[in-house]
A and B are shown apart, each in its own frame.
Chain A
């Protein structure tokens, strides 16, 4: 019989220690002794700190799994704030009966994602709950990184000004459609992969090469439409975007057309919006195009007048409409 997680693995006793030592600590390269808190060395720098919980269903989907997601998502939350991500904590809530192989695959993906992003997983926790008390596995990661002076404005958008350009690093909606397809066993003739990826190296190149990056945000839940509305609200500025410049892959478009979804509201896990002075547009696009994670980058619009506080979408047909904040979960339509 295959090994599975059972309640003993969360007892705090021998099995817990064995699981931590043999799986988590060894895969994540944690240093002995394994103490309750990690001590992080860095003085005189601004600490940036974030946390996020991952409960995706299904836990394995084309292009990734919950483990990869839990590292990339937290790395991206730090990186879009302008910080250099360095440390990750992870806390697992595992349903008894989860196959050990599945857990190992998830942990391998986390280790791989952390290695690729050059962050260290330094502390964690494990709880096992009874059957039906959680959906196989939930992971919460926290992340810490450091922010250099002069980059504090990036997360608040306080330098965003009229005429600034809006740039996304690639096609939208792939993560949502990949997960939706896996959840409902929709067999797409062209497989759609989640875009799940850590963006910190791309972001570092952009920050090193461009002086006027005024805002960055990853386009997760709520999608591009959600972020644009938050930005407009935060800055009090108007935003204009053109539908025909927003990249969406053909298979994603096909699924959206069929089910009545709007890709601008779908979640991504490896996409970001950058707002930067027009003088940096060319520069940003060059850096983007030279990186696999930015190869499909596109300039999608610009910041308009003060006080408009509206996001206007110029539609493909040449009309215009308000692109509103998402409300509720998008539901597949009937016909």
Chain B
């Protein structure tokens, strides 16, 4: 397949793995921020190609994993209303809230539909004028523009039965929370699709304020290995910077149209991240002009605060402090069929990848 096979070329991969082994002269800890990278790294067996002195940590970049329980609880509360249809991306329906999940609610008769984009949810709103359609807007800079365009379209078309339960987040504040906490990370593997929207400058604070380098990269094995080699070079030369490996998709300035739409619709707000708590200015909500599409404002529901399972170490995993293997629940009480924490639910969660590809503790 074009644009895929050339980045899975065995000879090139072997060559890159050899170069990495030769260049890796000390211990390195790199963090892949994005769940897509976590999943690709394990799917392609990348760790088995790397020398032992390179450690990869999974970061806070799986949108399902960092979504607070309160969002699920709110969606569950909405799903109990007779005139509501919940529309959501697939990964989210199995995430446990404090009492139940959307999957359980769906089984007991709530109208909960999996959609592939926010625009699909808007179509459902069009064809169900007497219902209120709530789209759970989660994801980072990659999915937020889609929600922005949909809100804009709903506004233009005068569709009033479409609401967004807003949980979109932006990535840099969480990365900053990790580096400022002092977790030892020698460099970040940054998500190419986020940078394709935002441009690479959103990561400038890493070398600027924290002397930590990063490489913006794609999701194929050749991309990831090349990014690792670039990071090793940065560390070896004590030259932390923002580099783009994923030049075929990421122009330095990003996607101006998507940025414009995001800016027009959303304002940043404080947001609760699972594992981190409240991070200032890390979330996106519809701005003043589009407030009526914000489900929490237009259709407020009270959800009681619940503490999460104390044994679940998702918070530490998301902050790069621990690995799934350190968790007492991992593969005992918590598995993809019966997840306790969000990192086990999404295919992009670190625990799910560990479980699926059976990494040794």
Contacts and interface: CB of A to CB of B under 8 A. Distances in A.
Interface of A: 184, 186, 244, 250, 253-254, 257, 259-260, 262, 313, 315-322, 324, 327-328, 330-335
A335 B116 CA distance: 10
A121 B142 CA distance: 53
A318 B63 CA distance: 30
Contacts of A321: 42-43, 45, 48, 357-358
Contacts of B142: 335
A321 B140 CA distance: 29
A331 B93 contact: yes
B252 interface: no
B138 A320 contact: no
B1 A332 contact: no
B327 interface: no
Contact of A327 (B10, B13, B336): B336
Contacts of B335: 327
Contact of A331 (B8, B36, B47, B347): B347
Nearest to A331: B90
Contacts of B268: none
Given A331-B347, A333-B347, A335-B142, A316 B44 contact: yes
B45 A317 contact: yes
B139 interface: yes
Nearest to A323: B357
Given A318-B10, A328-B337, A334 B139 contact: yes
B116 A332 contact: yes
Given A316-B8, A333-B89, A260 B347 contact: yes
B241 interface: no
A275 to B, nearest CB: 23
Contacts of B45: 313, 315, 317-321
B71 to A, nearest CB: 13
Given A321-B43, A334-B143, 16 more contacts: A250-B1, A260-B347, A318-B10, A318-B14, A318-B17, A319-B46, A327-B335, A328-B337, A330-B347, A331-B347, A332-B89, A332-B114, A333-B91, A334-B90, A334-B92, A335-B36
Contacts of B92: 334
Nearest to B113: A184
B221 interface: yes
B144 to A, nearest CB: 10
A313 B43 CA distance: 10
B36 A332 contact: no
Interface string B7-46: 0101001100100000000000000000010010011111
B312 interface: no
Contact of B48 (A186, A244, A260, A320): A320
B45 to A, nearest CB: 2
A315 B116 contact: no
Instruction: Identify whether the interface residues of A are mostly helix, strand, loop, or mixed.
Output: loop
B94 interface: yes
B94 A334 contact: no
Contacts of A313: 45
A224 B322 CA distance: 33
Instruction: Please name the 10 residue pairs, one residue from A and one from B, whose CB atoms are nearest each other, closest first.
Output: A319-B45, A331-B90, A332-B90, A317-B221, A322-B358, A327-B336, A319-B48, A335-B142, A321-B45, A315-B45
Q: Which of A250, A262, A315, A327 has the most CB of B within 10 A?
A: A315
B281 interface: no
Contacts of B14: 318
A128 to B, nearest CB: 23
Given A318-B49, A320-B45, A334 B8 contact: no
A301 to B, nearest CB: 15
Interface in B99-146: 114, 116, 138-140, 142-143
Contacts of B356: 324, 327
30 contacts: A184-B116, A254-B1, A259-B116, A262-B43, A313-B45, A315-B45, A316-B221, A317-B8, A318-B10, A318-B17, A318-B45, A319-B44, A320-B45, A321-B43, A321-B45, A322-B358, A324-B355, A327-B335, A327-B336, A328-B337, A330-B347, A331-B90, A331-B94, A332-B114, A333-B346, A334-B63, A334-B89, A335-B63, A335-B140, A335-B193
Interface in B47-102: 47-49, 63-64, 89-94
Nearest to A260: B347
A78 B335 CA distance: 34
Given A317-B221, A319-B45, A334 B64 contact: yes
A334 B64 CA distance: 8
A331 B42 contact: no
Contacts of B337: 327-328
Contacts of A320: 45, 48
Contact of A317 (B44, B138, B193): B44
Contacts of B46: 317, 319
Interface in B310-361: 335-337, 346-348, 355-358
A67 B27 CA distance: 60
B4 interface: yes
A334 B91 contact: yes
A14 to B, nearest CB: 36
A185 to B, nearest CB: 9
Contacts of A186: 116
A49 B336 CA distance: 34
Given A316-B10, A317-B8, A334-B143, A324 B357 contact: yes
A315 B221 CA distance: 10
A327 to B, nearest CB: 4
Contacts of B90: 331-334
A250 B5 CA distance: 11
A250 B139 CA distance: 28
Q: Which of A257, A328, A333, A334 has the most CB of B within 10 A?
A: A334
Nearest to B358: A322
B233 to A, nearest CB: 21
Contact of A315 (B43, B64, B358): B43
Interface string B218-238: 000100000000000000000
Nearest to A335: B142
